[in-house]
Amino acid sequence: MPMTTDSEGQENVLLRVAAIVDSGATGTYNLVLQEVDGLRRLVMAIGLAEAQSIAVFMEGVHLPRPLSHDLMARMVKTFGAEVCEVVIEDLCNGYFIANIICRQTTADGQHYYSFDARTSDAVAFALRSGAPVYARERVLTRLAGPPQRV
């Protein structure tokens, strides 16, 4: 299974968006992330706007005006930076914790920045930036549900 180890020695497992499904609650959807070459999944509740943003991108729909995540991706690129990866770090008080890792190359060398983000926003942003989405192995070990049909 595609896995990396970061500079702190923590294992990260590569994920893909498996599905976005209606949760049954008004305005809430479930984002299903599945490990690449594996069966474990993370399921998280996300809002309507984030679900639409992810779905629009995955379905290749071109809108007349940019969505927030499109704008963010363009801004990062315009400022000479790139999104390296998104890492789902943990679950705290019922919320997944994610970081967007960016790299900017300047005359001084390469600079890395980590931005705390809602996981749904981080995933939408990663998709538009072509960046991989990872989860810490310990998060998947603790939280991943059994394989199921979506």
Of 40, 61, 43, 45, residue with least CA distance to 127: 61
What does R_g of the chain's alpha carbons equal in angstroms? 16
pLDDT, residue 83, reads 95
pTM: 0.88
Rounded Cα distance between 39 and 102, Å, is 28
Give the DSSP H/E element, type plus range, for residue 65: none
For the chain (150 residues), the mean pLDDT of every run of 10, in chain order, is 66 96 88 93 93 93 89 89 96 93 94 95 95 95 65
pLDDT, residue 148, reads 53
Please give the structure tokens belonging to residue 27: 């305005």
